[in-house]
Chain A
Amino acid sequence: MLGRASPPPLPFEPASLGGGRADAVLTAAGFVQPAAGHDATGELRLSLGAAGSDEAWQVALLPVMGALATLAEEQRPHAAVFARARDAFEAEVARGVDVSVDAATGQVVLAPMRFRLLSVVKSN
């Protein structure tokens, strides 16, 4: 049996400051003047490594590796937390929604991600 009923929650929401939601907190902190590039957006495409490689699943799971390590330390030695996480990753690749194999390169690629710049100045 595994020792936990649910995974440790990630203590953040990745897009919590996107969509202009950061402006209110910037103002509250004293930043009232936007600067060059404020609210500019861009796209990021990540290649994780060759399909089936260790590198692909390890890079993909870097954001939760600490949580996986915590789980692994809490479980019995043979709980195979990482093996199950890898299996889940390979299933996600096969599903092909957020992550898939680029047929041309054989690389596992993530769906594009977007970022936004916050650019403000401190008043004189």
Chain B
Amino acid sequence: MFVRAPRGAVLPFARLRYSRRCFSSRPSDGEVLAQLHEQLPRLHEATLPQFAPIWHAMVDAVAAQQARPRVVLDLASGAGEPALTLARRFPSAEIVVSDHDEGMLAIARHRIAAEFASPPGRVTAHQIDLNSLSSLAGDSGGEGLRCDAVTCSLGLFMLPPAALVPCLGGIHQLLTPGGHLCASVWEGPVPLIELGRRCLNAALTRAAPEPEPEP
């Protein structure tokens, strides 16, 4: 969940790309970024399973509504959840994993290749933006995608308020009649986000920058 967000807000891999020499006793920002770039898949691997209670609640809700969905689209999947949990629960369903961030999709594709290589094409990953679902449904011509269920775990809240109804309207268009939308949202305070905000503030306002190194 928490590894995806609108562009520039949360962990865009493209930002974790540059490295600089370290001249001080503490690692430079460039060194930390380079380290993070290497560590991200492992950090996700260590963290993702802890979100399983949310995915299982969502998959249970989908199963209670539809015994055998044919096509399920998971939006803002990040590293591939709850899509891959859905793929295990519904072994005959076509599962579409999606996210706007190619870096996250790369992790999802790696997981798909490891577990869902056969039959090929049953579980696939695609770059899909929450703001362009109507065109995915065929608004701009063409046949368009149709789904029996759409899921989105901890993704909808990242949309600006004005984009929310159009996004949900796009999901409505994507669903077949009787189709099911199941999403998870945060309820009440979210310590993970609040903690991040405070640390971000502190990164600006705390100690003065370290001195320039001696040449």
Which positions in A face B, CB cutoff 8 Å?
1-2, 4-8, 10-19, 22, 25-26, 28-31, 35-37, 40-47, 49, 54-55, 58-73, 75-85, 87-89, 91-92, 98-99, 110-111, 113-124
| CB <8 Å contact, B29 and A75 | yes
Chain A CB count within 10 A is highest, among B54, B172, B179, B191, for B191
Q: Which of B87-95, B105-113, B114-122, B181-189 contacts A (4 or more CB under 8 A)?
A: B181-189
Q: Is the CB of A58 within 8 A of B36?
A: yes
> Is the CB–CB distance between A59 and B157 below 8 Å?
no
Partner of A115, one of B11, B43, B54, B201: B54
The answer to whether A78 and B23 have CB atoms under 8 Å apart is yes
Residues of B within 8 A of A61 (CB): 196, 199
> How long is the Cα–Cα vector from A71 to B196 in the complex, in angstroms?
14
How many pairs of A and B residues are in contact by the CB < 8 Å rule?
Answer: 301
Q: Which residues of B contact A98 (CB under 8 A)?
A: 191, 194-195
Binding site secondary structure of chain A? mixed
Question: Which B residues are within 8 Å of any A CB, using their own CB?
Answer: 2-3, 5-6, 8-12, 15-16, 18, 20, 23-24, 26-30, 32-33, 35-36, 39, 43, 46-47, 50-51, 53-54, 57-58, 60-61, 64-65, 154, 156-161, 164-165, 168-169, 171-172, 175-204, 206-207, 209-213
The answer for the CA separation of A122 and B159 in the assembled complex, in Å, is 22
B58 to chain A, nearest CB (A): 7
The answer to whether B187 and A115 have CB atoms under 8 Å apart is yes
With A42-B54, A77-B29 known, 6 other A-B pairs at CB within 8 A are A14-B193, A61-B199, A64-B199, A71-B200, A72-B33, A98-B194
Q: Let me know if B192 and A66 touch, CB within 8 A.
A: no
Q: A71 → chain B, closest Cβ, in Å?
A: 6
The reply to whether B196 and A60 form a contact with Cβ atoms under 8 Å apart is yes
Give A97's nearest chain B residue, CB to CB. B191
Q: Please determine whether A19 and B187 come into contact, CB atoms closer than 8 angstroms.
A: yes
Q: Which residues of the partner chain B approach A7 to less than 8 Å between Cβ atoms?
A: 197, 200-201, 203-204
Can you list 23 A-B pairs, Cβ within 8 angstroms, ordered by A? A11-B158, A15-B190, A17-B185, A35-B182, A37-B58, A40-B61, A46-B47, A60-B199, A62-B10, A62-B196, A63-B192, A67-B9, A67-B200, A68-B203, A69-B16, A85-B203, A87-B207, A98-B195, A111-B191, A113-B191, A115-B54, A118-B156, A121-B179
- In Å, the complex CA distance between A109 and B209 comes to 30
- A72 CA to B183 CA, complexed, in Å: 34
Q: Which residues of A contact B180 (CB under 8 A)?
A: 35, 119-122
In the complex, A9 Cα to B116 Cα: how many Å? 39
Write out the residue numbers on chain A whose beta carbons fall within 8 Å of the beta carbon of B43: 55, 58-59, 62
Q: Is the CB of B203 within 8 A of A88?
A: yes
**Whose C-beta in chain A lies nearest to the C-beta of B189?**
A15
B172/A46 in contact, CB under 8 A: no
Q: Taking CB as reference atom, which chain B residue is nearest A121? A: B180
Q: Which 7 A-B pairs have the closest CB atoms?
A: A88-B202, A37-B61, A29-B168, A36-B64, A72-B29, A64-B196, A98-B191
